[in-house]
Amino acid sequence: MTTTLAVGTTAWAWNALGSARTLCAQAEKAEALGFHSFWLPENHFGSTAAIPSPLMLLAAISGRTQTMRLGCTSYLLPIRNPLLAAEEVAVLDQLCEGRLILGLGRGLSGAMFKAFGVNTADKRKLFQANLDVMQRAWRGETLATDDKGQSICLSPLPLQRPSPPLWVAAFGPLALQQVARLGLPYLASPIESLDVLEGNYQRYHSDVAAAGHEAVSTVPVMRTVFVTEDDKQAEQVRSALATKVPASIRQQDIAVDEWAIVGGRHYIRDKLAEYVDRIALSHLIVRSGVPGIDEETQLQSHERLLDVVADFG
């Protein structure tokens, strides 16, 4: 098989996200290894690992990296003022010299929506309305007029025109339908099996065509990936993932090997080839930071993975 697979990674030292120095050092290492992109999620409250402002963190990283793309997996639109969000995205895209990929999300936590004064039932409607305003702003359209009748437009505009690439995180049929109607790439859940993803993508591509959009060739998926030739270490990683992952994953009653790819180089290559063959995977975002795995071992896994992917090209 000959194909091109872009591989990104999340941060792996989650307990140190409050330190720009530590976070930027991870991004610098990821760029030196040859990763396509470096990703941060958005989450709020309840933990020292909360990341309420991923764009601010990516701004710090932008000054310490040169070529690697920078991404947010789930910039939550329903809880934001859309014009302020459009400005912040445009500023970051200028700061990183057009390296931003903006993954958009709706959010799942009812407690978070309550804290922000948002009705959970309105999240899809707010997502759509806010995205519409942001896209108008990025196109440079008139947003309002001042007392003298002069147009008020967004400034600065994003460096990437009309906007950075927009991917939409989606989980469930209603979310998938909304992404398809927008004609934007669908960023797949990190916890669904390949069988489920294959069915999701079949429906998604059908709905994209039904909405009158061109076929979407960008197929990004998040997966936990760990490469080791040590069978004992591989089993330890699977066990750690099975017992220490969030309850939201355990409750799905999905075997670890259904949502994580753990094993030797040949196994990893075959599994990635299967993802490419079955869903036309174009971008793999590795969920790093395996429980119980130190940074040196994590980086060794990353190096092996990138060697495997190099054989794809």
pLDDT, tens digit, for every residue of 115-168?
999 999 999 999 999 999 999 999 999 988 878 878 889 999 999 999 999 999
Chain centroid to Cα 149, Å, comes to: 41
Of 126 and 289, more confident: 126
Query: Please, what are the domains in the chain?
Result: 6-310 (3.20.20.30)
Q: What SS3 state is found at 77?
A: coil
What pLDDT digit, counting tens, does each position of 10-46 carry? 999 876 566 788 899 999 999 999 999 999 999 898 7
What pLDDT digit, counting tens, does each position of 81-122 carry? 999 999 999 999 999 999 999 999 998 888 899 999 999 999
Confidence at 255, pLDDT banded by 50, 70, 90: confident
What pLDDT digit, counting tens, does each position of 43-63 carry? 898 776 788 999 999 999 999
In whole angstroms, give the CA distance from residue 300 to residue 292: 15
Helix spans in 230-286 (H):
231-244, 247-250, 256-259, 265-279
Query: Average model confidence (pLDDT) for the chain?
Result: 92
pLDDT surpassing 80 at residue 275: yes
Decide if 55 contacts 84 (C-beta within 8 A): no
For the chain, counts of helices (H) and of strands (E): 12, 11
Percent of the chain with pLDDT over 70: 94
pLDDT at 254: 80
pLDDT at 245: 61
Decide if 105 contacts 75 (C-beta within 8 A): yes
Its pTM stands at 0.94
Is 310 exposed, middle or buried, given 0-12, 13-18 or 19+ CB atoms closer than 10 A? exposed
Q: What SS3 state is found at 273?
A: helix
**Strands ordered across the beta sheet of 166-169:** 186-187, 166-169, 100-105, 69-76, 37-40, 6-10, 283-286, 220-227, 260-263
